[in-house]
Chain A
Amino acid sequence: MENRPAIVAVGRTKFGEHYGKEPEKLIEEAWLAASNECNIERKHLQACYMSDCFLPITNKLGLEEGFLSELTELHVPMEITRSFSAALMTACHAIQAGIYDTVLVGGIEKMSDRWDKIRDDLMLLDDPWSYYAGGTPESNHELMMRAYIQKHGIKGEELEQLKIALAQVSVKNHANAIKNKYAQFQRKISVDQVINARKYKPLGLYDFAPMSDGATTLVLTSETVANKMTNRPVFVLACGSATDYLNYSARADLSRFYAAELAMKAASQTAKVAPSELQLLELNDQSTMMEMVTLEDIGVCRPGTAWKSIYQSYKNNQLAYDVEGKQVYVNTNGGLKADGNPLGATGGAQIYEIYRQLRGEAEERQVKLPALPKYGAVVEFEGFGTKAYVSILGEKKQ
C-alpha cells in the first residue's frame, strides 16, 4: 500500500445506555478524547468520515453531515457510511490518493433512544422477506448455527462441547471486559449462565451482543504527517471488503460468511500479512456463533475446527484460543458482547483496542506474545454478513 495512512489518536465513550445524552454529546466526548491525545484541533481536519446505522431512524437525523457541521463549525467535506470500517476504508482511500493528509473518522449510534422498536428497525439490515416470515435480528444467527452443526455433522458429545464452546466465547468476552473501563458490561459470567439463558433455543440472551449507545473516533493522517506527530503511528496496512446477498437464505452456503473470506483475502494480500500471522483479532461477535464461524472464514482456523480451539480454551481455563499450538487473542476489549455494540461506532471500538494493544497501552488487557503483537486485524460486518470489512493494522512492513 502506497502512501500508507496512519492512526495517530483514538477516542471513545463508554458504551451502554446513555439515557440523558443526546447523540452530539457522545460524538463530542469521543472527539475530545482523540483530539487531546494527538493535540489536533478541529481546524486541522480536512474532511470527516462518519458512520451511523440508525440515527435517521432512532433520532430523526437524516442529514448527519449538516448536524456535524453545526456541531463543529466546520465546512469541510463530510461523508456518512453505515459502519466505522467503511468510513475508515473511504478515509484511507482519500489519503492514499493524496487528497487529504489529516481527517477525522468517527462513528455514533444511539440505539436505546428507540428501545420500543429497535429490534424491528434492525430488520432493515436483513432481507424484507425474512422480516415478513417472522425473522428477528437473532434468528439468522441461530439458523447459521443449525447449518454449521448440519454441515460438520456435529452430534452427541461433540454437540454438547460445541454448545459449551459458544458459551465460552461469551464468558471470555465478559472476562476481558472487566478490564475495560469503557465496556458496557463489567461483570463475570459463567458457562452455565450462558447455557441456561438459551432455554430451548439454539442461542440465548448471553450469546448475543446488546443494544448500545456510544461514539468512537480516530484521527487518520498520511504517513508524512504521522511521522511528525508521533514516533509510534499505527498504520492501516490494508482495508478489504466484500459483499454478499442481503437474502441470507439465497446464499450458496448457509453455514458461513463468504464475504468475510473474500474481505480477508483482499486485505491479507495488500498487507502481505497471512491470516496465520494474526494473533490479535477483533471479531464482530454480534453473536457467539458469529465469532466462532468468522475465525474459520478468515482463515485463522480450518473449517469445522474453531469450536474445538474454543472448547480447548475452556478446558484450559484460558482467555486466548489455542489454534494449532499458537495463542490467538480475540476480542480483548470484551467484544461486541461485553464491550457493547453501538452499530455505527462499534468498529471504532475494535480499532481503538487494536491501536492500544499494538502500542502497548492496553494496561491490564495487554497482550504479550511475549513481545507486543506486530499486527492486529479487525473484522466488521454490516448486517448478517452482507458486508464484510477487514482492516489490518500494524507496523510498517518493509
Chain B
Amino acid sequence: MSSEPIERRVSYLGDRLKASRCQCCGKEYFEIRDYCSNCGRRSYGKMESIDLFYDKGILELATYINEPTNKFAKLGSFVHGIVSFHGGQIRVPARITDQLICGGKNLDLASLEGREVIPRFRRRYSVGKSDIIPTISLAFTLADEYYPYQEYKVIQPTKDYELPGIVGYGMYSSRFRFKEEAWEHAVPFTDEDSVTAAVEAGKLALIHSGLDSALIGKVYAGSESNPYAVKPIAAKVAQVLKLGKEEGDVQGVDAVDTEFACKAASSMFKDACALVSYPRSGINYAMVIGADNSQAAPRGCPGGELDQFVGYGGAAFIFGKHDVIAEVESWYSCTSDTPDFWRRDGEPHPMHGGRFTGDPAYHKHVRKAASKLMEIQNLKSSDFSYFVPHQPNPTFPIRIAKDLGFKEEQFMPAIQMTKFGNTYSGASLVGLAAVLDIAKPDQRILVTSYGSGAGSDAYVLRTTSQILDKRSRQKVTVKFLADNPFVEYVDYTTFRRLKQGM
C-alpha cells in the first residue's frame, strides 16, 4: 500500500533534490528548511530555496551493496555512497545507477571516490502493482561516463519569428543496448521507464534551448507505455522540470498526456504551434515529449514478433516564436480506423496485425500524409534536404522513402531505429532530432510519423540560422548517444530482465 501524502512529499523534495540556503550566513541544507540552525530566529523567512537537479556532485564515499533491502532486490548489486555538493556544504546518500555489477570482482571503491557524479531522475524502488510508483533523483551516474554533465544556462531570446517553430530539443536513451544482426536496441536500466525518459528528454531540451522553464505554458507527453493507466506522465515532467511559473508548490502550466500509438507526440507539434501563435493563449512556449519503454511480449509468445525491434527512449521539442531553430511551415494529417496494432487495457503487451501492419497500415497512411502535404505546398522530394520517416523497423522507412522519391542522403541520417530500436512515440522524433543535429540553416525537412490505429502526421520544417548558434549547447546529440563508448551491451536474458524494470 502506498502512502499518498508521503509519496507526494518525498518526490516533491527528492525528484528535484530541493535544498535551502540561509541568506544570513550562507549555510546550506538538504531538503527545505524554514530557518537556519546557525542563525536561529533571525533567519526565519530568509531561507532561499535552491535545488541540486542541474548540479554535479562528488562521490565522497562508496561501498558496494550485494544484498539490498527487499525493495531494491531487483537491482541486484549496486554502488551506494555519499555525494557532496557545493564543496561539501550539502551531503546526501546516493545510489549509483546504470551499472550492471556481477560479483563486484573488478570494482575498486577507492577509484570511484572523488569522481564527479550527476543526479538522475529514476524510480526509487519496487512497489506492488497497484501502488504509486516512487521516484527520486538520489540516483547518480558518473559525469565522465555515458551521460555527461551539462550546465543549464538561461539565455534571453534575441530574435522573433513570424512562424512558430522548434526552439530547442533533446533526445534521451539509456546506456544499455541489445545487439542483433545489423541493429541495436536501447534497453532501459531497471530503474527507468517511460516517465523517467520523458523527464530526461525534457531536461536536455531545456538545456539546449536555454529557455527559462517557467516560460513554458503547456507540456504534452505522448507515450503508449505509461506505467499508469490513469495518472499523467506530463504532471511528473512539469513538477520535476519546474515548467511554468512556480506558485507555491504547484506549477503554473497546463500538462496533458496524449495517446495515439506511435504518433501520440508528433500529433501535438501542430497543437503546440497553434497554441504559441494564438495571441490570447498567454503561452509563449510549449513542450512536446514522445517517450516509450516500447512494449513487446517475449519472443515465442503472441505479439513477440515486436520484441526484435523494441527500443527505449524519447525526445522532447520546445515550440515557440523566439530564437527558433526550425520554423514549422505547414502540416497535414490523415486518419482511418485501421486496427493494425493494439493493446487492450490491463494487458502488458501489444498485439499486431502481422503482415497487415505494412501496406494497408504504415505505408498507406505515411504515403498519404507525405504526398498530400507536398502536393498542397507544391513541393517535390528534391526540395527537401532531409526526410524523416516514422521507423518501426529497418525496412518500412526505407521503402516508403524510396517510394516517395527520396534519396539515401536525404533519409538515411534520420534512420535511428537501427541504433536505439523502435522507440514508439519517440521514433520519428528521434529521427528528427538526429537530422536537426546536423542540418544547416535554411534547409527544408519533411517529417512523417505514423500511429497504429491508424494515422500519420506530416510536417514541413525549415531551419534558421540560429540552429548553428544553439548547437554548441548540446553535447548529448543523437550521434553522441549512438556512438557512446560507455554503451554497455547485454544478452537477451538481461535485456528482458532490465526491460521488466522494478
Chain A residues packing against B (C-beta within 8 Å): 116-117, 119-120, 123, 127-136, 138-139, 142-143, 146-147, 150, 199-202, 247-250, 254
Contact = CB atoms under 8 A, between A and B. Distances in A.
Nearest to B31: A129
Nearest to B112: A146
Interface stretch (B62-70, B147-155, B195-203, B343-351): B62-70
A147 to B, nearest CB: 6
B107 A200 contact: yes
Contact of B66 (A128, A201, A247): A201
B94 to A, nearest CB: 5
B109 interface: yes
A139 B80 contact: yes
Given A134-B125, A200-B64, 7 more contacts: A132-B125, A133-B80, A134-B80, A136-B68, A136-B69, A254-B82, A254-B91
Contact of B70 (A119, A130, A146): A119
Interface stretch (B71-79, B273-281, B356-364, B375-383): B71-79
B331 to A, nearest CB: 44
A102 to B, nearest CB: 42
B69 A250 contact: no
B66 A146 contact: no
A132 B82 contact: no
A142 B71 CA distance: 20
B69 A129 contact: no
A130 B61 CA distance: 13
Top 3 A-B pairs, shortest CB-CB distance: A142-B63, A200-B104, A134-B95
A142 B30 CA distance: 23
B138 interface: yes
19 contacts: A116-B70, A119-B69, A132-B136, A133-B80, A134-B69, A134-B72, A134-B75, A134-B78, A139-B63, A143-B61, A143-B63, A143-B80, A143-B81, A146-B63, A200-B103, A202-B64, A247-B30, A248-B82, A254-B91
B65 A134 contact: yes
Nearest to A127: B93
Contacts of A202: 63-64, 109
A134 to B, nearest CB: 4
| Overall SS of chain A's interface | helix
B196 to A, nearest CB: 15
Contacts of B129: none
B113 interface: yes
Nearest to A145: B63
Contact of A249 (B82, B95, B109): B82
Contacts of A117: 70
Given A120-B71, A143-B82, A147-B61, A129 B66 contact: no
B215 interface: no
A202 B109 CA distance: 9
Contacts of B103: 199-200
B92 interface: yes
Which one of A127, A202, A249 has the greatest number of beta carbons of chain B within 10 Å? A249
B16 interface: no
Contacts of B30: 129, 247, 250
A146 B104 contact: no
A201 B64 contact: yes
Nearest to B81: A143
B14 A254 contact: no
A143 B82 CA distance: 8
A138 B64 CA distance: 10
B39 interface: no
A135 B80 contact: yes
B63 A201 contact: yes
A318 to B, nearest CB: 31
Contact of B105 (A147, A200, A247): A200
B62 to A, nearest CB: 7
Contacts of B93: 127, 129-130, 132-133, 135, 247-249
B208 interface: no
A231 to B, nearest CB: 51
Contacts of B65: 134, 136, 139
B84 to A, nearest CB: 8
A144 to B, nearest CB: 8
B124 interface: yes
Nearest to A149: B110
A131 to B, nearest CB: 7
Given A199-B104, A201-B66, A201-B104, A146 B95 contact: no
A17 B62 CA distance: 33
A132 B124 contact: yes
A120 B72 CA distance: 10
Contacts of A136: 65, 67-69, 80
Contact of A134 (B61, B68, B82, B91): B68
A134 B113 CA distance: 18
Nearest to B101: A200
A194 to B, nearest CB: 17
Nearest to A126: B93
Which one of A142, A202, A247 has the greatest number of beta carbons of chain B within 10 Å? A142
Nearest to A201: B64
Which one of B62, B65, B69, B70 has the greatest number of beta carbons of chain A within 10 Å? B69
Contacts of A254: 60-61, 82, 91
B125 to A, nearest CB: 7
B10 interface: yes
Interface in B433-486: none
Contacts of B60: 147, 254
Nearest to A250: B91
A132 B109 contact: no
A217 to B, nearest CB: 32
Contacts of A138: 67
A38 B68 CA distance: 46
Nearest to B83: A249
A120 B95 CA distance: 16
A249 B91 contact: yes
Contacts of B62: 143, 146
A220 B72 CA distance: 44
Nearest to A159: B110
A120 B71 CA distance: 8
Contacts of B124: 132
A150 B113 contact: yes
A119 B66 CA distance: 13
A87 to B, nearest CB: 28
Nearest to A202: B63
A213 B94 CA distance: 32
Nearest to A134: B95
A363 B75 CA distance: 49
A99 B30 CA distance: 44
Which one of B62, B63, B72 has the greatest number of beta carbons of chain A within 10 Å? B63
B94 A133 contact: yes
